[in-house]
Amino acid sequence: MTVDTWAADLATPFEVDRLLEVRISGMKKMPGLNIDTGIDKKTCHTPVRINKLGLEGDWHDSTFHGGPDKAILGYCSSHYSNWKALYPERADRFVPGGFGENLVTSHMNERNVCIGDVIAFGPEVQLQVSLPRQPCFKLNHRFSLKNFAPVTYQTSRTGWYYRVVREGAVQAGDEIRLVERKWPQWTIERIQEYLHRDKDNLAMNRQIAEIDVLGEECRGQFRNRVAKALRKKTPKKEDSWADYKVIQRKTETSRVVSLALQCINPDPEAELPLLGAHARLKLPNGLVRTYSVVSSGDSIMQMKDTFELGIALEENSRGGSRHLHESAKVGDTIQVSRITSDIPPASSASNHVFIAGGIGITAFLALMRAMLSINWSCELHYAVRSADDVPFAERLATFKENVVLYNKSQGQRMDIHNIIKAMPWNSHVYACGPTRMMEAVKSAVDDCGIAPDEVHYEAFAADVSGDPFEAEIANRGGKILKVGESESLLEVLRREYPDIASSCEVGNCGTCKISVRRGRIDHRGAALLLEEKDSAMLACVSRGIGRVVIEV
């Protein structure tokens, strides 16, 4: 599906059009979700006044819509016939107003409307085109089509926003006239080409970042891309270490301690990715361990270049968690090699279901907090041993009705199969907990026919031990490395090649995936698809059998 499927007359220049409908709405719950939306807009049959923030009487989720740059949404009604042809099973929903637009037109569209256009609506109102709409999961839910939102921007049929230049009243039937066009080369469609399809074109990103009338939400994305590209010109060594100071220590439960760490000499251009992130630590006792980042919560975590860990004391600790529990104190210095995020929020999902046990909650606290802050639909099912065994309890309390707690000491049991079976349509699952819990999630997901790309597994521990094996490195002169029974292939590779990439180091993310040319693999972890297992392995957890031939 490409933009070339548009009707030819839609590409003809726009100078005059007619306002077909004016639509406004209040806020209401989306069907099947506990979130409010203003997408269901109704036709106005009398004149409606427009002020600097949009149509009077119109409401919307201010997290994503509204404000001076996004005061009013326009959409071309001619797109609806095309959507009906593409999705005949949803034809009854593809009618004017379906995209939540305020102003319905027939000829103005993403090919002939340009950023910065000043347009008169009737005798009073003047609006300026500010930026393309960037659709979210609410379009998927409205039309009951999974991953529909990306199709709209890949084909540039999203609609666009206006800012208000001159206030007044509008009504259906008003003439629409192009008053001023200063950026004729930057149609909505062309902006979307570089916003969504050709993202790495530095020259174009630079040009667009200089368009002063482009709405800040969109313009900021292009500025950030330019800055990121410039930083990449001076790549850093993968395994460089930075010194962090322990600035806070807190006993969360009898088994869990939290540590806040702040960088001593921060890179002013670096940003800490704190959603679903992992930090790799080199401890004073020489051990290297990776832990989930809990991230922001209380006031100390608002400090720049600071992150927080929650560490459970493992029963069979090899020295990592035991050292942090027994020896780490405020003022100590701990080296950190990098902080990476491995849980991409499923932005096309209508609902997000988190299943966690024990210390597994640390993987999801920051992510869930961020989702709720932008009014996404979330629910957390959390299993603990007792009421005294809940780390970060104060933070969990802020989630209130979004949390179901299962207290083992009171005989409460999490029925994972029923949770998965009862999920709302278009839900995404995130699971982190002990092995037994993770296996139960995998079994329930299979039984309920949930697609693999609708589930994220985030194990907090991994068994890397097994029979010794040898790894022949085909693209390093056939060098042979011996992997002992209690060490991982990643550990052995890193002794020879320090820049080997990794992140979670428990088989969640796939960062350490390497090619396998020959040999049998004992696959572990959740990051490989079934079709990848014939030609790849996860160096952090998977093991060879006998001798394997790999590439790094």
What's 485's domain CATH number?
A: 3.10.20.30
CATH number at residue 126: 2.40.33.20
For residues 42 and 114, state if they share a domain: yes
Mean pLDDT of the region 115-127: 97
Amino acid at 82: N
For residues 269 and 337, state if they share a domain: yes
Look at residues 458, 485, 519 and tell me which one is the last residue of a structural domain.
458
**Res 275: pLDDT:** 74
For residues 449 and 473, state if they share a domain: no
CATH number at residue 357: 3.40.50.80
- The reply to whether 295 falls in a domain is yes
Q: What is the pairing mode between strands 306-312 and 256-263?
A: antiparallel
Q: Which residue has the higher pLDDT, 115 or 508?
A: 115
Largest CA distance in the chain: 82
Range of the domain at 265: 242-341
**Res 1: pLDDT:** 36
| pLDDT-derived band at 207, boundaries 50, 70, 90 | very high
pLDDT at 418 over 60: yes
- The reply to whether 251 falls in a domain is yes
**pLDDT per residue as tens digits for the range 303-322:** 668 889 999 988 766 678 88
For residues 263 and 399, state if they share a domain: no
- At residue 446, what are phi and psi to the nearest 5 degrees? -65, -45
Q: Which residues contact 375 (CB under 8 A, 6 or more apart)?
A: 35, 36, 61, 63
Look at residues 179, 198, 226 and tell me which one is the last residue of a structural domain.
226
**pLDDT per residue as tens digits for the range 493-545:** 988 888 788 777 778 778 899 999 999 999 988 788 888 999 999 999 999 99
Are residues 71 and 54 in contact, defined by beta-carbon separation less than 8 angstroms? yes
**Res 71: pLDDT:** 97
**Res 318: pLDDT:** 62
- The reply to whether 217 falls in a domain is yes
For residues 49 and 159, state if they share a domain: yes
For residues 211 and 268, state if they share a domain: no
For residues 191 and 296, state if they share a domain: no
| pLDDT-derived band at 290, boundaries 50, 70, 90 | confident
For residues 87 and 21, state if they share a domain: yes
Predicted TM-score of the model (pTM): 0.83
Could you tell me the two tokens for 272? 């800490």
For residues 111 and 168, state if they share a domain: yes
**pLDDT per residue as tens digits for the range 211-228:** 999 999 999 999 999 998
- The reply to whether 74 falls in a domain is yes
**pLDDT per residue as tens digits for the range 68-111:** 999 999 999 999 999 999 999 999 999 999 999 999 999 999 99
- The reply to whether 234 falls in a domain is no
Structural domains of the chain, count: 4
Radius of gyration of the chain (CA): 27
Place of tokens 């839900």: 427
How many angstroms separate the CA atoms of 63 and 394, rounded? 25
pLDDT at 36 over 70: yes
**pLDDT per residue as tens digits for the range 424-476:** 999 999 999 988 999 999 999 999 999 988 999 887 667 788 999 999 999 99
CATH number at residue 322: 2.40.30.10
For residues 449 and 357, state if they share a domain: yes
For residues 311 and 355, state if they share a domain: no
How many angstroms separate the CA atoms of 359 and 293, rounded? 12
- The reply to whether 82 falls in a domain is yes
Look at residues 341, 365, 397 and tell me which one is the last residue of a structural domain.
341
- The reply to whether 2 falls in a domain is no
For residues 454 and 474, state if they share a domain: no
**Cα-Cα end-to-end distance for the chain:** 37
H-assigned helices in 211-291: 216-232
Mean pLDDT of the chain: 89
- The reply to whether 435 falls in a domain is yes
| pLDDT-derived band at 66, boundaries 50, 70, 90 | confident
